[in-house]
Chains A and B, each alone.
Chain A
Amino acid sequence: MSNLLEIKNLRKSYGDKVVLQDVSFNVPSGAIVGFIGNNGAGKSTTFKAVLELIHKESGTVKLFGKENLNKEVKLKEKIGVVFDAINLPSNLTIKQLGKVFVKVFDSWDQNEFERLVDIFALPRNKKVGSFSRGMSMKISIAVALSHNAQLLILDEATGGLDPSSREMVLDELGNFVKKDGCGIVLSSHIMSDIERIATHLVIINEGKITLNEEKDKVFEKYAFVDLDNDQLTLLNQDIIIAQRKHGALFTVLVSDKEKLPSGIVAQTITMEEISVFLTGSE
């Protein structure tokens, strides 16, 4: 599987505050990467660095195998972006947006845009600035899906959607990624969305990647174990992903429950639990 996006050792700081520290992960073709982290963990900053909206300090970002997005303008045709707010010209209607984007994108597909506007039940003659958050997200997603992009970068794109709209959006994203050579990186706080559509999980905490793994592997092999100090010393260090202390006991996330010493009981994990565990402090 080729990588649509490759991020290697990405670093960014504002003054003394390091906001991204050696961030590395890939978005392979055919994958939906769930990018998880608390507010301020570095998700949006990572996306901004990928899109060259901010200047990275070090590290490399390759999109479709190429660096320097601002000079490889044609690559941007292949990238659909949705930020956590509408970010479209607020004074324009959907009708006008269609006319604008047909002039901006060589690959603009007006029929696909019309189809998405219809299924998302969006009003064509209302200014997008007056849209609710849910409607704003839907029109932003419709735009991102209407120029034959191969990579979608979605920052909290499912936030603010009602359950039925979320279903529709997730279905569309699922259909998108089935197309040849397409992939998605999706940040979200809604773990059910990630659990439903992601193929890979990347968790970021305080600017550092704490987990980068295929989702199926996580649910198949990863486990939580509660251990005392003596049991902890018996544990193979290579399988320890993270640990937290609760009084005299440690809760440890291990990457291979098969390698646990006998007698230690592995607990099954949920998306919510793993997210909370890896995005918390310690």
Chain B
Amino acid sequence: MKGLIYTNFSLIRKVILVYMLIGIGIAVVMLNVIGSEALSLSMVMVCIVIITPVWEAIKVEALSGYNKYVLTLPVTRRTVIQSYYVFFFLIVMIGIILFVSVLYVHGLFSMISIDFSLYRSITLAILAMLTMGGIIFPLIFMLGEEKSDFILFLSLGFMALIVNLVRVGVEHFIEQPPLLKFNLDLLIHVPFIYILISILIFLLSYVTSLAIYRKKEF
């Protein structure tokens, strides 16, 4: 798997640097214009930009026929799928670390303070990105890597819908009688719920992708 992840990084090494710079630019602009009220949205925007090259790498692999060749290498189909998911997760983490770094530097020169609400924003961003990846991967393996642009566009809408449903749903449920006794805090406990839901969506997506990929013919 190490080799496959390295291949993906090598394929988009330069592009990812460019997209990281764009991400930093977006983060700075959004923090200055909107401020801390849209922390989650800003973080999601940065992550969306930074993960864009991932789909580019998958498309390049498909167009060059490497997606077929890779199965002749000493790896299983499971390992190929795992490598895509791990690679995607690493890029998401890079995006979040980058945004938090920008936020920290920005905080040194502005009134924005880093508090508990940042954790909620980070977990919401993770939920958004893992949901997006969770939607995109199975669709790519089902419809074909060449259609990744269309799938990306489609999944943006679904991701926004699911994330908002989860956010509203979680906030609603923690105030319902059966959960009230746990006294769940919106800033402390809810982020963990987001993380759990993110992991669940991502794992479900992985299992679906694997099932599709195992049947795929090249």
Contacts and interface: CB of A to CB of B under 8 A. Distances in A.
Interface of A: 48, 51-55, 70-71, 73-74, 76-77, 79, 81, 83, 85-92, 96, 99-101, 103-106, 129
A108 to B, nearest CB: 10
Q: 3 smallest A-B Cβ distances: which pairs?
A: A103-B3, A104-B3, A87-B65
B193 interface: no
B69 A106 contact: no
Given A55-B215, A99-B10, A100-B6, 17 more contacts: A48-B217, A51-B71, A53-B218, A76-B73, A77-B74, A79-B72, A85-B65, A87-B69, A88-B66, A90-B60, A91-B11, A100-B7, A101-B3, A103-B2, A104-B3, A104-B73, A106-B74
Contacts of A87: 64-66, 68-69
5 contacts: A54-B217, A83-B65, A89-B60, A89-B64, A103-B2
A96 B217 CA distance: 28
Instruction: Tell me the dominant secondary structure on chain A's binding face.
Output: loop
B113 to A, nearest CB: 42
A12 to B, nearest CB: 10
B10 A89 contact: yes
A96 B13 CA distance: 11
Nearest to B63: A90
Interface in B55-112: 60-61, 63-66, 68-69, 71-77, 79
Contacts, number: 84
Contacts of A52: 71
B74 A104 contact: yes
B74 A73 contact: yes
Given A90-B60, A91-B60, A104-B4, A54 B218 contact: yes
Contacts of A85: 65
Contacts of A74: 74
B193 to A, nearest CB: 38
B3 A100 contact: yes
B112 to A, nearest CB: 39
